[in-house]
């Protein structure tokens, strides 16, 4: 959604990931449309510093600068599905819930999840910071920008069956604000914002996204999403293009929520 949205508006887009075949098939499918800017596959593991540095060096050698960095790596992590079990036997009191939560997840699972959902945002951003700084010098009044894809799960006060995922996304929200502030007070002309999507189709959610109850299956709300549907590719891409374009130049350190009204009707910290 994001890469095609940027490319369709003329951007030259590098897409990264661990699976080269997936990257190449995506780039090939886009090239066949013969429209907009190119999408170029570049292997990078966002949880490995050597891999991040190698990708940064390739971009540096080929382009010399970078205007837009989107941090979008993520996975769902350990689940405790019984948190939302409607059955009479579900763990609901302290004597059963505590031990069940303690046993169902591990330190290793939490660490691995934070590595991809949270740590990667920090390390990828600082690795590419010098190239982003150079990109800001291309046009007077323009600043390169970082767009972190967080989630309403980091803003909702429900665990949604996954304490680890929601905690990692909340951390991503705060990393966004810290990076924005540190760069600003040091006079580095690179903006940092975030987008917190609600329910959108992705590799992580596609198995349960179909049907009228899709948003409830994925988001596990107390009150159903007012929009009564998942978000669309146009809505995601359009929000990214807005932040990356001159129209978003005055926005820095903010997190845009695009969730169909999910947080409007469910307990959140916003």
| Rounded Cα–Cα distance for residues 113 and 77 (Å) | 6
| Rounded Cα–Cα distance for residues 72 and 64 (Å) | 22
Beta bridge partners of 191: 145
Q: Is 246 exposed, middle or buried (0-12, 13-18, 19+ CB in 10 A)?
A: exposed
194 Ramachandran zone, left/alpha/beta (phi>0; psi -120 to 50) = beta
Strands (E), the chain: 13-17, 39-43, 68-71, 144-149, 190-197, 255-258
* Catalytically annotated residue among 165, 200, 250, 262: 165
| Rounded Cα–Cα distance for residues 123 and 126 (Å) | 5
Decide if 165 is catalytic: yes
Question: Are residues 103 and 160 in contact, defined by beta-carbon separation less than 8 angstroms?
Answer: no
Residue in the structure block whose two tokens are 């939560």: 101
Show the tokens assigned to 53: 């540095």
CA angle 92/168/164 to nearest 5° reads: 30
Catalytic positions are 165
């Amino acid at each position: 959604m994001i890469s095609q949205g940027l490319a369709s508006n003329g951007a030259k887009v590098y897409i990264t990931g661990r699976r080269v075949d997936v990257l190449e098939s995506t780039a090939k499918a886009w090239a066949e449309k013969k429209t907009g800017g190119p999408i170029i596959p570049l292997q990078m593991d966002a949880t490995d510093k050597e891999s991040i540095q190698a990708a940064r060096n390739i971009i540096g050698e080929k382009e010399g600068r970078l205007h837009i960095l989107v941090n979008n790596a993520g996975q769902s992590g350990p689940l405790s599905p019984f948190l939302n079990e409607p059955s009479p036997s579900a763990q609901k009191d302290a004597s059963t819930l505590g031990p069940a939560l303690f046993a169902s997840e591990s330190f290793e699972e939490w660490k691995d999840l934070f590595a991809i959902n949270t740590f990667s945002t920090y390390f990828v951003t600082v690795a590419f910071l010098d190239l982003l700084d150079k990109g800001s010098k291309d046009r007077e009044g323009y600043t390169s920008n970082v767009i972190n894809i967080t989630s309403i799960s980091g803003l909702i006060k429900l665990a949604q069956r996954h304490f680890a995922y929601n905690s990692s996304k909340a951390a991503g929200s705060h990393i966004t604000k810290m990076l924005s502030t540190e760069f600003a007070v040091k006079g580095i002309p690179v903006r940092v914002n975030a987008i917190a999507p609600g329910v959108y189709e992705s590799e992580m959610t596609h198995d349960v996204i179909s049907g009228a109850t899709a948003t409830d299956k994925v988001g596990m709300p107390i009150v159903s999403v007012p929009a009564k549907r998942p978000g669309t590719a146009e809505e995601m891409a359009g929000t990214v293009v807005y932040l990356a374009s001159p129209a978003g130049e005055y926005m820095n350190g903010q997190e845009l929520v695009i969730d169909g009204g999910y947080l409007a009707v469910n307990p959140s910290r916003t």
